[in-house]
Homo-oligomer: A and B are copies of this chain.
Amino acid sequence: MSPAFSATQVMAIVQSARTLGSTEALITGIAPLELAGQGDLSFLANPKYRDEVARSQASVLLLPVDYPGTPPAGQLWLLLDNPSVGLTRLCRHLEQLLWPKPAAGIHPSAVVAGDAAISPSAHVGPLCVVEAGAQIGEGTVLQAGVFVGARAVVGRDCWLGVHTVVAQECVLGNRVRLQPGAVVGSDGYGYDTVKGRHEKIPQIGNVVLGDDVEIGANTAIDRARFSHTTIGEGTKIDNLVQIAHNCVIGRHCLIVSQVGIAGSTTLGDYVVMAGQAGAAGHLKIGSFAKIGGRASIVRDVEPKSYVTGTYALPYLLEQKFQVLRGRIPELFKRVDRLEAQIGSAVPEKPSA
């Protein structure tokens, strides 16, 4: 960050519960504990890095309220219930300074249909395409090269990153964010095989994204075969995720990078799917379920359950299996030995 802040300014932005120590340094950077130096702010969010606090050369540290001890000379501690939230406050402040919202208006190089309804407060960047009948809401920003198809509806205060695609008829709520290269409304993958040829099943539904949804870079959300593929309010989807046609994803779910969800599967609310997990089609995953990284879901998942592994098992059972897995070669040897011993002690056929 190029902006510089005094300790007093940082304290006002971070809103810490308590402070210890002081610094005269101007804060001009944010860095991890072990890399931070004079003029940097750092923080302890993940307990894994706790040992690094005492060695950190940062001028300002955001720490949990129960962090013991006192700072060395020239170091300011800002104590918070959640240091991560304090850092977020500072970063939000910086973000607005560094990257102010672009001015309203349509770039002359954009290609916009005469009957598209674009709010006067929206920003349509260079080389965007907005097709006939599309709607762009108040305060929404289209970065460069964004495509909004015919009759698509984009709500208020959305942010559509570079080269994103909102295909025809798709609907975005308010405050939706699409990271660069995200595709909303590609065709679902469906074919009828007739006499050895896969005939395309038209995909005439759309995609509906609720308010506050975020979609990651180069993620693909397929349009429905008919009716809607739906992503509920507040759900956040990471990069390179595949959501197939007619999925219904609930509200406030977290779907991490490279997850794939096959067609017509439904997720309840607050489901978490960790990275590279996959779910087969036509399944129901209940609300508050947690799916481990790389898990394969091939059956319905109960609400609030925590499953993981290949053909996902309950989390604890899978963990036990994983611990024992490396000992399976040895188990085969143990059984060989048992059989040899038994063979000499007890004949396999009692009548022998």
| A interface residues with partner B (beta carbon < 8 Å) | 1, 29-32, 35, 46, 48, 82, 84-85, 87-88, 91-92, 94-95, 98-99, 107, 109, 111, 125-127, 129, 131, 143-145, 147, 149-150, 161-163, 165, 167-169, 177, 179-181, 183, 185-187, 189, 191-192, 194, 196-204, 212, 214, 216-220, 222, 225-227, 234, 236, 238-240, 242, 244, 246, 252, 254, 256-258, 260, 262, 270, 275-276, 278, 280, 282, 293-294, 296, 298, 309-311, 313, 317-318, 320-322, 324-329, 331-332, 334-335, 337-339, 341-342, 344-346, 348, 350
* Chain B residues in 8 Å Cβ range of A162: 129, 147, 149, 165, 167
The answer to whether A276 touches B278, judged by C-beta atoms less than 8 angstroms apart, is yes
Question: Contact partner of A163 among B163, B168, B197, B296, CB < 8 A?
Answer: B163
Residue of B nearest to A131 (CB): B144
Question: Contact partner of A341 among B29, B214, B346, CB < 8 A?
Answer: B346
The answer to whether B85 touches A111, judged by C-beta atoms less than 8 angstroms apart, is no
The answer to whether B313 touches A310, judged by C-beta atoms less than 8 angstroms apart, is no
Cα separation A94 to B310 with both chains bound (whole Å): 41
> By DSSP majority rule, is chain A's interface helix, strand, loop, or mixed?
loop
Question: Contact partner of A181 among B32, B220, B238, B350, CB < 8 A?
Answer: B220
* Chain B residues in 8 Å Cβ range of A84: 192, 201
